Amino acid sequence: MKTTLNNKVKFYRTQQNLTQAKLGELAGITRKSVNAIETNRMVPSVILALLLANVLNMAVEKLFDIEYTNE
């Protein structure tokens, strides 16, 4: 069984009219990191995931979830 991390950071960020740079600024990371997370190039640490959820004012499991696929 293969697991993949899905994230809805972009969806909730745009919903709240935030730019990548602004979200990065609020979470204390660079715009590059936000972009890397949104495009699934980087898996954020627990601390960063919680920080992003905090900034976007929602539960972390709503922002990130695991998808199971059979191989």
Residue with smaller CB distance to another protein, 6 or 19: 19
Question: Are the CB atoms for 48 and 27 separated by under 8 Å?
Answer: yes
Inter-residue contact 8 to 61 (CB < 8 Å) = no
Q: How far is the CB of 45 from another protein (least distance, A)?
A: 6
Q: Residue 41 Cβ, how far from another protein at the closest point, in Å?
A: 8
| Positions that interact with another protein (CB under 8 A) | 21-22, 24-25, 28-33, 36, 42, 44-45, 48
Who's near 37: CB < 8 A, 6+ residues apart?
Answer: 7, 9, 43, 44, 52
Nearest to another protein of 64, 71 (CB atom): 64
